[in-house]
Amino acid sequence: MAKELENKKSDLAFGKENYILLLVGLGFIVTGFILMTGGGSEDQNVFSEEIFSFRRITLAPIVVITGFVIEIFAIMKKPKD
């Protein structure tokens, strides 16, 4: 009976650490997209320079790409036995 449970446990494709890394990567991606929001103008006839801020142009894409790299690492990482 214990042997069956042990075999069933090893049938999973990912380990606990992989799932944690997947959630961390997803958190980075969501945070990056949240950082990209805003910067629009209330009046359509007025242009807002706020859209070109450091946060939206540089920081947010770096955070999103970091999230995707973490996701790839989490998928490729071999789970511990």
Residues 6+ apart with CB under 8 A from 79: 12, 14, 15, 17, 18
In the chain the first and final C-alpha atoms are separated, in Å, by: 19
- Output the pLDDT for position 4: 60
- Can you give the pTM of this predicted structure? 0.79
The whole-angstrom separation of Cα 81 and Cα 78 is 9
pLDDT band at 67 (very low <50, low <70, confident <90, very high): very high
Q: What is the pLDDT of residues 24-64, one digit of tens each?
A: 999 999 999 999 998 777 778 888 788 889 999 999 999 99
